[in-house]
Structure 1
Amino acid sequence: MSEWLKVKASDGNELSVYVARPEGEPIGAIVLVQEIFGVNWHIRNVADEYAKEGYVVVAPALFDRYERDVELKYEGEDAKRAGEFWKKLNPETALLDIAVAYEVAKEVGRGIGVLGFCYGGLMSWLTATRGETLKMQPSCCVGYYPGGIGKYATEEPSCPVMLHFGGADSHIGADQIEAVRTAHPDVEIYVYEGAGHAFNRSVDPNTHHAASAALARKRTLAFFKTNVA
């Protein structure tokens, strides 16, 4: 079962959150943070799939600060628009929107994990390192191909973190991965050879790397089971 809810961040920003619920009693909750294409059909499908695993999944629409109901494809003019939205995104205000989604997730009364992809992967990392200032204390955080993480590599996470990178990712250099690995040897980092950026995006044949996506999902589910469920 899924639905859209309207919520309000602590600074007064009103935004939508997509909420996917399991059929039975939830074993935990996940805050799912979008790519730079909005909470589109792919992100909603990710939410629905994790709901089938027993989690209540809450995905905040980060673009609502700038324009409501944005849902972009991965090519052509939509790809250009995604780049324009990316330039507007501010991690500080994005964290406020994630924090209100976290409040929705708290209603489940169980552990909460944070899962993000691309920009959302970076925000998952920043939730782990800065979330406590916004009353977020996730059980764990998982980031897929978190672009720009090298800039924040020395920040200290307050919970277990797992990161997934494509070995052939042209957007994230090996130096960024090494910066995190050096600063935090306890962070679980996986690099998937032959996989590029957005390798989990099953609806995009230009980026999807099925074997890597399946293995990363298996590892993520086990991580959530250990730390959230």
Structure 2
Amino acid sequence: MNSRWIDIDTNNGNAFRGYLSLPPKGTGPGIVLIQEIWGVNGHIRAVADQYALDGYVVLAPDVFWRQKPGVDLQYDEAGSTQAFAYLKNLDLPLAVQDLTQAVNMLRGMPEVSGGVASLGFCMGGLLSYLCAANAGVDAAVCYYGGGIDGHLNQADKVTCPILFHFAEKDHFISKSAIDAVQAAFGKARNAVIETYPDVDHGFNCWERPSYNQKASAVAHGMSLSFLGKVL
């Protein structure tokens, strides 16, 4: 893969890092890929490469850099304990500001031809939704974003196309939370909401016990179809 770490400037002169992966042809539409709580780890970098092979210029920013730069955790008990601590201390508005900087940087890169989308998993799914409301992305994909139901006061700000993936048996996201998102976006022309039966939270991650190959493949294909139409 043609990939490397790059610096992303903030408005106050600081910088944080992001993992950039380029498509085989070198140019394409952009995706800001937003991590799970385990950081921009090996799995997230592999997903970035996966979407790069699909023809996208992918930038995965380090969301936790204000707490500790370069978080890269495993999906074991020790890694998860650290990951949830980072999540607990995350400043969402500042994270959205940082992601907005990543969106703007990606949009200005010569390798990016076309629009820029956000795409996130778990915590990143919530942040992708917030990017749709605040960061000026052209589209957003949200995989099992926990907490979206607590931010539906921003739903009216989402004017770009948005795709939600939810797990029917998600032990982190209740059915009532999914129902609330469906009530807010069910009649919106710009929104698509998909719920996958008999799968749990994290079904896209092949390093987690909840991984489900069929649901992951279907959701990936749907995400590519969605992005291909709107970017």
Shorter-chain TM-score category? over 0.9
Q: Is the CA contact (8 Å cut-off) linking 1:7 and 1:100 kept in structure 2?
A: yes
Identify if the C-alpha distance between structure 1 residues 121 and 56 changes in structure 2 by more than 3 Å, giving closer, same or farther: same
Q: TM-score, normalised by structure 2?
A: 0.93
Match of 2:150 in 1: 151
Alignment of 1:200-219 (within 5 A): 200-204=204-208, 206-219=209-222
C-alpha distance in structure 1 between counterparts of 2:121 and 2:43, whole Å: 11
Percent identity over the alignment? Answer: 35
Alignment of 1:121-160 (within 5 A): 121-131=125-135, 137-155=136-154, 156=156, 157-160=158-161
Match of 1:190 in 2: 194
Give the one of 207, 221, 226 matched to 1:223: 226
Q: Is the CA contact (8 Å cut-off) linking 1:141 and 1:161 kept in structure 2?
A: yes
| Aligned positions, number | 222
Gaps of at least 5 residues in structure 1 are 132-136
Match of 2:169 in 1: 168
* RMSD over equivalenced CA pairs, Å: 1.2
Q: TM-score, normalised by structure 1?
A: 0.93
Q: Is the CA contact (8 Å cut-off) linking 1:28 and 1:55 kept in structure 2?
A: yes
List per-residue Cα deviations over 1:72-107 (Å, max 9, x = no partner): 011121110001000111110111211121122112
Q: Is the CA contact (8 Å cut-off) linking 1:14 and 1:64 kept in structure 2?
A: no
Measured after TM superposition, the shift of residue 25 of structure 1 is 4.4
C-alpha distance in structure 2 between counterparts of 1:128 and 1:201, whole Å: 23
Q: Is the CA contact (8 Å cut-off) linking 1:20 and 1:51 kept in structure 2?
A: yes
Q: Is the CA contact (8 Å cut-off) linking 2:29 and 2:55 kept in structure 1?
A: yes
- Give the secondary-structure state (helix, strand or coil) at the position aligned to 1:207: coil
